[in-house]
Amino acid sequence: MNTINIYTDGSALKNPNGPGGWAAIICFTDGRQLRLSGAEPDTTNNRMEMTAALRGLEAVRPIANATSAKVVLHTDSQYVQLGMSQWVRGWLASGWVTSTGKEVSNIDLWQRLVAAASGMKVEWKWVRGHVGHRENEVADQMAGMAARSKQGQVISLSAEEVASGQFDATTPTGRARATVIEVDTTSSDSEIAALIREHLGAAGGKSVRFRERMG
């Protein structure tokens, strides 16, 4: 059976209610890759993780249905993985109400995920983030860049281009982009240090510029 692997990640610069980004890397059996990303101005980490999974499933649904391919969706969000592999069955039975009688959080995206996965053979696989897994790291970089730039990308790579490893993780041209960090000078030293560490990781070893933001 053919298997299509999807690697997803989501990021919110301020959680909750801050700008966010999502990314999905779709790996086909012939070695091709499709890389998708997008942004939202006011969101949460969980919603971006869910959106990444949703967009990935929607992109492969026509192919998976036509070829009866199995889809393995890799996510570093246990919220997404457990939600779709375990919790959703109870929510469907209860009419999307929790054990406390409240409506399930993010019900709109859960329902869209259920619809997108319907009829496909989907395995929901959790992967630990930030441990050097290439596709997970690329998805993380793309989601972070989408959140910061407030725009997404669609990158289609041939099997030869994927194998060469010459394409930059976040740009279709292969050129590295500098990450700009705005530092609020009224923040504490520890807050500034945490911000720098976060964005250095997201930069993936590329250049980083600092921009001062006054008061």
Residue 133 among the catalytic residues = no
Q: Which of 153, 179, 111, 122 is nearest to 22 (CA)?
A: 153
* Confidence at residue 132, expressed as pLDDT on a 0 to 100 scale: 67
Residue 184 is a catalytic residue: no
- Say whether 108 is catalytic: no
- Prediction pTM value: 0.77
CATH class held by domain 3-173: alpha beta
From 21, 74, 76, 199, the catalytic residue: 76
Q: Which of 130, 160, 184, 205 is catalytic?
A: 130
Residue 192 is predicted with a pLDDT of 64
Task: Tell me the pairing of strands 70-75 and 179-184.
Answer: unpaired
Catalytic residue among 38, 140, 144, 199: 140
Specify the pLDDT at position 87.
96
The parts of the chain modelled with pLDDT lower than 50 are 172-180, 201-215
Tell me the domain boundaries of the chain. Answer: 3-173, 178-215
* pLDDT at 93 (0 to 100): 96
> pLDDT tens across 89-122, in order?
999 999 999 989 999 999 999 999 999 999 999 9
Q: Is 130 an active-site residue?
A: yes
